[in-house]
A and B are shown apart, each in its own frame.
Chain A
Amino acid sequence: MDVTGNPTEVLLRLANVSKEFTSVEGGNIFAVQDIDLTVGDGEFLSIVGPSGCGKTTLLRIIAGLDTPTRGELAFANGGNSKDARPNIGLVFQEFALLPWRTVLGNIEFGLEIRGVRKDVRQPEAMRYLKTIELEGFENKYPKELSGGMKQRVAIARSLICKPKILLMDEPFASLDSQTRFNMQKFLLRIWGETRKTILFVTHNVDEAVFLSQRVIILSERPGRIVATIHIEMPYPRDVNEPDFARFRKQVFKYIQTI
C-alpha cells in the first residue's frame, strides 16, 4: 500500500460496466452506466454520489449479488465467474447480523460453513472479537448491542473469511455522529493492520475525504463516474487542517455540478 494514493498492484478492474433494469412501464433504466474503474491492492477507495445513483448496485455487482448487463469485471487472479471470485467481505448499513446467533456465532459463521472444526474456529473468532474490542460480549445476542458494536461484529464476521476486498455500503450512516467518528478511526486502524482493500460507499463527503486515498464521484442516475480525486494527505488526518478543507471543497465542487 502506498499512502500517497498510488496503488501498487491492481486487484480489481471494471471495464464499461453497466446495469440496466426494466422499468414498470417497460422501458430500460440504467442504474450504472459505463463504469471504468481500477482498484489497487490495499487501496482505500470511496464512492460518493447522490441517493439512487447506483452506488449500491455497483457494490452488489462486485460482490456477485447482481450481474452487469454489459461490461467486464475481472479480479487480479483472472477470475470473473462466480466460482473464481476471491473471498469478498460485504458490510451493510443495516448490519445484517443473524439475530438468533450470538456475537461469537455470527463471527464464526464464515468458518463454520467452510467446515472448519469448532475447536479451531472458536479461538479464531475470539481473536477477532479482541480486534474489534468486544471481549466479554461473545455470548450476547445482536439485539443487546449498540449500532456501533453491531457494525464492528459485522466487520469481524467479514474479516475472518480473509477477504481480498472489503465492500462497505454506507456502513456508518445509521450511527450517531460520535459513534460514527469512532468507527471511522476504528476502520482506519483495521485497514492499517490488515492491509485490506476497502471499497467504501457513502453519501457523506467529509467521511470520504477523511478515510480514503481516492474518492470517486458518481452522477445521478444513470450513475457515471464524474470525477476521481486523489486525497494526498497523510494519515492520521485532521478535519481542521487547511488541506482537508481544500479536498473537501474539490469534491463538493463536482457534486454541485451534478
Chain B
Amino acid sequence: MVVILWQFLSMQGFLPYHRLPSPLEIAAGMKTLLIEGLPPGYLLYRHALESLFRVFCGFCIAACLGIPLGILIGWSQKLNTLLRPFIEVLRPIPPLAWIPIAIIWFGIGIESAAFIIFLGAFFPILLNTVSGVRTVDVRLVEATKVLGAKERHILLKVLAPGALPSIWTGLRIGLGIAWMTLVAAEFTGVKSGYGLGYVIMVARDIQRPDQVIAGMVTIGFIGYGLDGLLRGGQRRLLKWM
C-alpha cells in the first residue's frame, strides 16, 4: 500500500527524483547494482558478502567472549565488583567513536571493521548474559547442589542453559547493532573496494539517489534476514520454554 501510494505521488510530481526517487526508479537502481555493479564491475552480492563477512568476524568474537564472561560475572560477585566499573564506562562510548583508535591500532581493513563491530555487539551480549544468569531460579542451583553438582556442573549445566533465553535476546540485539555499526563503519573509517556502506557512499558521490536507496533497502532486508535466522534458532533451542 505504502509503496503504491509512493509510486503514485512520484508520478504526479510531488516527489522529485533528486529528493526521493520512485519505487520503480529504485528497482532500476537495484538492477544496475546487481548486474553492472558500483563502481562498475563491483557487483552487489560481492558487497553484501564482504559486509556479512565483517559482521560475522566481529559478532563471533563478541559472542565467544561475551557469553562466557557474562556467565562468570553473573555467577561471581567478586568478578562483578571488579569488572563492573570498566564495563559501565566503556559501554556508553559509541562504537563509531572507536574508529580513529581502531585505525591507529589495526590500520584500515577487516581488522578495524571487525573490531568496531565487536564493540557494538559485545555489550548487549555480555549484559544480557549476566542478567540471564542472575534470573536463574536459586532453587535449581540448590536442588542440583544437593544432587551432588560441583561448581563447574552448576556453571555449565544449570546457569548456562538457564540463561540461554536471555543470552539469545542478547545475540539478537547484538547482531542488529553489529549490522548497523558495520554500515556506518564502512561509511567513514573502513575504505575498501567492497561493502554495502561503501556502495551507498559511492552512489552519493555520483549523485544517484536511486542507487543510494537501493543500497539501503539491501541493508534492511539482510538485517531482517539475519534476525530471522536467530529467531528460527530460538524456536528450536528454546522449545522447552
The chain B residue with its CB closest to the CB of A144 is B240
Give the size category of A's interface with B. Answer: 20 to 34
Residues of A within 8 A of B147 (CB): 109-110, 113, 157-158, 161
Residues of A within 8 A of B239 (CB): 141
Chain B proximity of A238: nearest CB distance (Å):
34
> In the bound complex, do residue A100 and residue B146 qualify as a contact, i.e. CB atoms below 8 Å apart?
no
Give the size category of B's interface with A. Answer: 20 to 34
Q: Per-residue CB proximity of A50-78 to B under 8 Å, as 1/0?
A: 00000000000001110000000000000
> In the bound complex, do residue A100 and residue B240 qualify as a contact, i.e. CB atoms below 8 Å apart?
yes
The chain B residue with its CB closest to the CB of A109 is B147
20 example contacts (A-B, Cβ-Cβ < 8 A) are as follows A64-B145, A65-B146, A87-B148, A89-B146, A90-B146, A92-B139, A96-B140, A98-B157, A98-B162, A99-B241, A100-B162, A109-B157, A113-B147, A113-B148, A113-B149, A113-B150, A141-B239, A142-B240, A143-B240, A158-B147
| A114 adjacent to chain B (CB < 8 Å) | yes
> In the bound complex, do residue B140 and residue A98 qualify as a contact, i.e. CB atoms below 8 Å apart?
yes
Q: Which A positions have Cβ atoms within 8 angstroms of B?
A: 63-65, 87-90, 92, 94, 96, 98-101, 109-110, 112-114, 141-143, 157-158, 161
B158's partner among A90, A98, A161 (CB-CB below 8 A) is: A98
Q: Which B positions have Cβ atoms within 8 angstroms of A?
A: 137, 139-140, 142-150, 153, 157-158, 161-162, 164, 239-241
> In the bound complex, do residue B146 and residue A99 qualify as a contact, i.e. CB atoms below 8 Å apart?
no
CA distance A132 to B234 in the complex (A): 32
Chain B proximity of A137: nearest CB distance (Å):
14
Residues of A within 8 A of B146 (CB): 63-65, 88-90
CA distance A105 to B147 in the complex (A): 14
Q: Which secondary structure characterizes the binding site on chain A? A: loop
Among all A-B residue pairs, the 10 with the closest Cβ atoms? A96-B143, A90-B146, A110-B147, A141-B240, A96-B139, A100-B240, A113-B153, A100-B161, A63-B146, A113-B149
> In the bound complex, do residue B161 and residue A98 qualify as a contact, i.e. CB atoms below 8 Å apart?
yes
Chain B proximity of A44: nearest CB distance (Å):
20
Chain B proximity of A245: nearest CB distance (Å):
37
CA distance A96 to B162 in the complex (A): 12
> In the bound complex, do residue A94 and residue B142 qualify as a contact, i.e. CB atoms below 8 Å apart?
no
> In the bound complex, do residue B143 and residue A113 qualify as a contact, i.e. CB atoms below 8 Å apart?
no
